[in-house]
Amino acid sequence: MIIVSAPGKVHLMGEHAVVYGKPALLAAINRRVVVSLESSQDGLSVETTEGEAYVRHAVQVTCDHLGQDRLPGVRIIVSSGIPIGYHLGSSAAIAVATVGAVIYHLKTIWNPELINQIAYEVEKKQHGNPSGGDNTTVTFGGFIWFRKEFEFLRSIWKFPFSFPQTLNHFVLINTGRPSETTGEMVALVKMKRDENPGTFEDILSDNEIQTKRVAQAIKEGNEEMLIDAIRHGQRTLEQIGVVSDRVIPLIRQIEEAGGSVKILGGGGKTGAVGFLLCYHRDPSRIQELCNPYGYDVESVILGEEGIRLEQRS
């Protein structure tokens, strides 16, 4: 049996902007997908609570890339600790873990660069025009500075320093699963950009400034800069229309309480936006603010390890 796991991820800043050549800062988190693969006499079978077609697609893309007509009889079991559709990188984690397991099964090689390359092709089915940042973070883990200038030119830089414990005050706020998919939100942003490219470019440039400030704040352990950069970056996301009116009042309340909070990934337009990433020194205060909305607050650890080959036998 082969067992491979991969983490979820969060955008500290740069989602949506990264699609248009701006940088994004992402972090792997302590939520994981586990993919188990074992030989079977019954052809290919997939056991998963959600996304069977996506897992089968990941298998086929991997086989095509390796010049294999089809995968010999195997049973694939997907177990996920990452809720699907909440912008925590579940599709990227499933793609990366599945690709890693299939490659190892067919070739007995462990090559994260190749896994990442193929997982990016898999992700195109889910999101249409992904940046590649999600699968890259899930594969390599830690904190990833990611920028795609062109399809053939991508910059990937993993922070060579650890996350300062003085800044270890992030939590996740569950606002519910968005009615819009990430692909739909990406398409919405593209439409708005096409309507007013000049204004949109100004917003993206501001987002880039805040992304750089978040990175600098982490490097220096500068809490004041981190909070301010997240607040300003969140404003740019509101300006491009990926933050629903339902969650903005809570965001302002958290800011007034001395914290900062932002959407993750695609966001949402009409209602729930998935998880919010919040920075505040007192999680109980955040839960208190979330109670009237019926939102739960969850702990989260940033900078976790990337893909792992858990078992090979």
CB 242, CB 266: distance < 8 Å: yes
Pairing of strands 24-39, 74-80: antiparallel
Would you state the structure tokens that stand for residue 179, as one six-digit string?
A: 């009615």
CA neighbor of 279 nearest in space, from 212, 218, 206? 218
CA 61 to chain centre: 21
Q: Is residue 134 annotated as a catalytic residue, yes or no?
A: yes
Among candidate residues 69, 134, 194, 245, the one labeled active-site is 134
Side-chain-side CA neighbours of 118 within 13 Å: the count stands at 25
Pick from 93, 57, 59, 61: which is nearest to 75 by CA? 59
Residue in the block written with tokens 């900062």: 260
DSSP letter at 12 equals: E
Please report the DSSP string for 261-283 in residue order. Answer: EEE-TT-BSSS--SEEEEE-S-H
Q: How far apart are CA 75 and CA 94, in angstroms?
A: 15
Spatial CB neighbours of 95, under 8 Å, sequence gap ≥ 6:
54, 58, 119, 122, 123, 126, 135
Instruction: Let me know: does 273 contact 171? Beta carbons within 8 Å.
Output: no
Count, residues in the chain: 313
Residue 297's SS3 state is strand
Q: Tell me, what amino acid is at 240?
A: I
The DSSP letter of residue 59 is H
Residues recognised as catalytic: 134
